[in-house]
């Protein structure tokens, strides 16, 4: 299977994604043709830049004569939340001019006033619908735009059709989004996978005042997506970037096991201190199913027919605390027809002496059998999900990057059930559901 892995260690924006696509081999001419097909009076400028010494492709969107603006004026009106999106919901009878749009792309400044034409979602659907593009590309582009509008509608508590995008921001966002859909299709991969997203930090000015990063719409878009922050004081994930990832990516994983074919870097606008402001796309073939990890373990067995059952449970806990890999009991029929238990301990060879001593001290056994066995194991890791009552660890088993098993940690669920006075089964069920919708799974 051929995949593309999106590494968002410096976040993601529309222009960064387009730059990475071009850098990894998507023809620049294809994106330029896409912009012309939209017929929205926009064009691309594609060039090479350096970010902290890493050379990357930079894609800029120009619209309404922006190329002729002085750089300061262009940046002032095209701050773009980092990527040119300006979404807002207007209440009935309210004029767009009544809003303060510190976020981005508010329009060209003309004689001390601001041009504030807006486009609604339905108009954007029509523009995309009549462009000479594949139906699959149109569908994906509209889906991305609807994700943006849905997030804005949720923030403002209005219907999705009352969300409007300011004219310049709408053009920039349309170009970013439609080109992203076209470029992702042109990659010709079976799946686009992403790392968790680095959000950045600090604050940002928006129509609602000063907000901490991420902006409200961005955070809404990131529901169910794994995120983190390294503390960089900048907005690293933009609304358009979040919407693109939310729509195109289904799995969020550490770097997978692949045979690397192509690598591309897309540059953001800002220079970040101490790290390159780029996102990276790596294209390659998933490696054939690899052999499971194999290890040698020791199996200890002890038959018990006169041990207090209360002590049996205590001994099992003590064995696990002392490093046993697993402990279990099997009902057996002993001599003189007495019912008994066979206590089995799986352990590493180096732990045999300590665990055998514990068995002799804590149980009534007079002998412990041991044998060496080989076992094959899947890769295991822990992820944390957040339920409405608290955090629960999930044990995740995977083979060659694909999840084969997952289960919530019983002790976490039990603790929450006791502390919050809720049924244990509800805690377990919600932990599983949160994991399945977290983007952490791979199946």
The first and second tokens of residue 247, run together, are 């729509």
- Whether 145 shows a pLDDT value over 60: the answer reads yes
335 and 258 together in one domain: no
Report the CATH number at residue 372. 3.30.70.1380
User: Is pLDDT above 60 for 193?
Assistant: yes
Q: For residue 281, what are the CA distances in angstroms to 1, 96, 147, 252? A: 16, 38, 23, 14
Query: Is there a single domain that holds both residue 232 and residue 372?
Result: no
pLDDT for 321-356, tens place per residue? Answer: 898 999 999 999 988 888 999 999 999 888 899 999
User: Are 393 and 263 in a shared domain?
Assistant: no
Q: Is the pLDDT of residue 97 over 80?
A: no
Same domain, 102 and 231: yes
Q: How high is the pLDDT of residue 166?
A: 63
Tokens of 182: 């076209």
CB 224 within 8 A of CB 254: no
Question: Which among 182-196, 401-415, 428-442 has the top mean pLDDT?
Answer: 182-196
Same domain assignment for residues 431 and 348? no
For residues 239 and 342, membership in a common domain is answered with: no
- The answer to whether the Cα torsion of 368, 374, 376, 379 is positive or negative is positive
Within a domain: residue 401? Answer: yes
The answer to whether residue 100 is domain-embedded is: yes
The answer to whether residue 441 is domain-embedded is: no
Question: Which of the listed residues 356, 377, 398 is the one where a domain comes to its end?
Answer: 377
Residue 197 structural domain: 2-286
CA 262 → CA 7, 22, 23, 265, distances in Å?
Answer: 13, 11, 9, 10
Average pLDDT, the chain: 83
Look at residue 442 and tell me if it is in a domain. no
Domain count across the chain: 3
Q: Which helix (H) or strand (E) holds 154?
A: helix 135-156
> Per residue in 247-293, pLDDT tens?
999 888 888 888 999 999 999 999 998 899 999 999 999 876 554 56
259 lies in some domain = yes
Check which CATH number belongs to the domain holding 390 and give it. Answer: 3.10.20.300
DSSP letters for 31-91: HHHHHHHHTSSEEEEEEEEEETTEEEEEEEEEETTGGGS-HHHHHHHT-GGGTT--EEEPP
């Amino acid at each position: 299977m051929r995949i593309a892995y999106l590494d968002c260690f410096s976040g993601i924006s529309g222009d960064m994604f387009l730059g990475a696509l071009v850098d990894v081999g998507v023809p620049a001419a294809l994106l330029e043709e896409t912009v012309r097909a939209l017929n929205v009076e926009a064009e691309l400028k594609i060039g090479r830049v350096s970010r902290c010494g890493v050379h990357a492709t930079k894609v800029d969107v120009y619209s309404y004569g922006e190329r002729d603006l002085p750089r300061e004026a262009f940046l002032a009106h095209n701050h773009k939340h980092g990527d040119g999106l300006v979404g807002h919901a207007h209440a009935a009878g309210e004029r767009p001019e009544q809003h303060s749009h510190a976020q981005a792309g508010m329009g060209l400044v003309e004689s001390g006033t601001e041009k504030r034409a807006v486009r609604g979602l339905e108009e954007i659907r029509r523009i995309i619908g009549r462009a000479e593009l594949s139906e699959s590309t149109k569908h994906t582009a509209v889906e991305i735009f609807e994700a943006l509008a849905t997030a804005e509608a949720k923030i403002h508590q209005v219907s999705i059709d009352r969300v409007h995008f300011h004219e310049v921001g709408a053009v920039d966002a349309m170009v970013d989004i439609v080109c992203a859909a076209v470029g992702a299709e042109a990659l010709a991969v079976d799946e686009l996978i992403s790392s968790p997203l680095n959000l950045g930090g600090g604050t940002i000015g928006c129509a609602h005042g000063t907000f901490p990063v991420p902006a409200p719409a961005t955070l809404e878009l990131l529901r169910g997506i794994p995120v983190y922050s390294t503390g960089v004081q900048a907005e690293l994930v933009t609304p358009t970037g979040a919407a693109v990832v939310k729509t195109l990516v289904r799995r969020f994983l550490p770097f997978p096991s692949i045979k690397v074919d192509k690598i591309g870097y897309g540059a953001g606008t800002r220079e970040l201190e101490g790290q390159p402001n780029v996102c990276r796309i790596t294209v390659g073939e998933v490696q054939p199913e690899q052999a499971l990890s194999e290890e040698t373990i020791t199996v200890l067995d002890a038959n018990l027919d006169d041990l207090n059952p209360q002590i049996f449970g205590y001994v099992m806990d003590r064995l696990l605390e002392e490093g046993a890999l697993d402990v279990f009991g099997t009902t057996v029929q002993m001599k003189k027809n007495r019912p008994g238990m066979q206590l089995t301990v799986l352990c590493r060879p180096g732990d045999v002496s300590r665990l055998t001593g514990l068995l002799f001290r804590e149980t009534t056994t007079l002998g412990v059998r041991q044998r060496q066995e080989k076992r094959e194991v899947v890769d295991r890791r822990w992820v944390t999900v957040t339920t409405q009552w608290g955090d629960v660890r999930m044990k995740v088993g995977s083979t060659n990057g694909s999840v084969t098993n997952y289960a919530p940690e019983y002790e976490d669920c039990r603790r929450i059930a006791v502390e919050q006075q809720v049924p244990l089964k509800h805690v377990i069920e919600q932990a599983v559901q949160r994991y399945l919708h977290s983007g952490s799974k791979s199946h």
